[in-house]
Amino acid sequence: MAAAASLAGSNVVSCKPAAHFSTSADTRIAHFRPFSPVSAGVGPRISLQCRSRSSLASSGVRAQVATSEKVSAEAAQKVESPVVVVTGASRGIGKAIALSLGKAGCKVLVNYARSSKEAEEVSKEIEACGGQALTFGGDVSKEADVESMMKTAVDAWGTVDILINNAGITRDTLLMRMKKSQWQEVIDLNLTGVFLCTQAAAKIMMKKRKGRIINIASVVGLVGNAGQANYSAAKAGVIGLTKSVAKEYASRNINVNAVAPGFIASDMTAKLGDDIEKKILETIPLGRYGQPEEVAGLVEFLALNPASSYITGQLYIALNCYALPWLRTACNEVLWPNPSVKWSPLVFTIDGGMVM
């Protein structure tokens, strides 16, 4: 007697008893036969036959196992890894993000402006972990370079799924001493560069009606900082750009968010004097700088985790989830990432709990 059962709507299991089952304890072996989802127009099915062990030769078992393993490997290869473009990825936060996404299985284009050697090292580290990566030297404030960068990713991997706008520079000095060139250089790279990369990547994402864009802003874009009028203005612009673009592309299933780090360990913080560093750390409840990998963890969540698919147009400022007091009127109850936080606004802090 044969019985057929429908599982999960599309998976079909067919059980056929052998001619003789001597006892109820007689062992059965499952044989998996591949089902083509292409010809049927549905998801993969599994056909299962149950027979007496006595009716199967060991060579047949090995053949079936080998076939099953081959089919599984082929199916795994068909699953496309996300293609990611990370700007300013040769060092610091950009490097940490590129490595995090590369190790998570993404194909990563490592963009750099001048640090070619460092970028190559990032690429090699991703490949050493079994990932795919390539480097691209280009200035994101130049439209031609941005177009060429996106084309490089598409030529290599067919598309761009995720864009991380991280590239940035500083030209710090007091406003009264700031030259127009110092102002313009920072605005061009830190803000116009985000605009150009977002525009170019969005054109590609719109064709597939899906994509993720994460912009690296800064807490100074919210609160300002003496000697960084140009940098603060650019990062404030990135925050506004993020929210506007998120609204424009939401109907195309493209999520756009921003992450605003506080004091993160970097080449810049390493050059600070002991007195300045002490004063900075005194303002941070955790008593330490954040690490690039901690920022990368949040970016990875926004870029890859299915749980972030309903998040767009938001600014994340902290892994410690310390909310800015003046934003409490705009809060929503959110339990991620810190379950002890009973409320949280649209802004989260990545600044070790530092009060702004």
User: According to the annotation, is 231 in a ligand binding site?
Assistant: yes
Closest-CA residue to 83 (of 155, 28, 30)? 155
Distances in Å between the Cα of 337 and the Cα atoms of 60, 215, 247 are: 51, 19, 24
The answer to the question of whether 264 is labelled as a binding residue is yes
Q: Which residue has the tokens 């702004």?
A: 356
Helix, strand, coil percent content, the chain, rounded in steps of 5: 45, 20, 35
DSSP 109: E
Let me know if 112 is a catalytic residue: no
Tokens for 169, please give them: 């520079």
Q: Which long-range contacts (CB under 8 A, 24 or more apart) does 124-129 make?
A: 125/99, 126/98, 126/99, 126/102, 129/102, 129/103
Phi, psi torsion values for 184, nearest 5 degrees: -65, -40
CA 38 to each of CA 70, 71, 297: distance values in angstroms, whole numbers, following the listed order = 17, 14, 37
Spatial contact of 32 and 48, defined as CB atoms under 8 Å apart: yes
b or e along 101-133 (b: 16 or more beta carbons within 10 Å of the residue's beta carbon)? Answer: bbbbebbbbbbbbebeebbbbbbebbeeeebbb
| Angstrom distance (rounded) from CA 199 to CA 235 | 18
User: Any known ligand binding at 232?
Assistant: yes
The response to whether 340 counts as a known ligand-binding position is no
Q: Is 234 flagged in the annotation as binding?
A: yes
262 assigned ligand-binding residue = no
Query: Is there a binding annotation on residue 233?
Result: yes
Tell whether 90 is in a known binding site. yes
d(CA 111, CA 83): 13
Q: Does 296 show up as a binding residue in the annotation?
A: no
112, 231, 249, 289: which one is catalytic? 231
Binding residues for NADP(+): 88-91, 166, 231-235, 264
**Which positions are catalytic?**
231
Binding residues: 88-91, 166, 231-235, 264
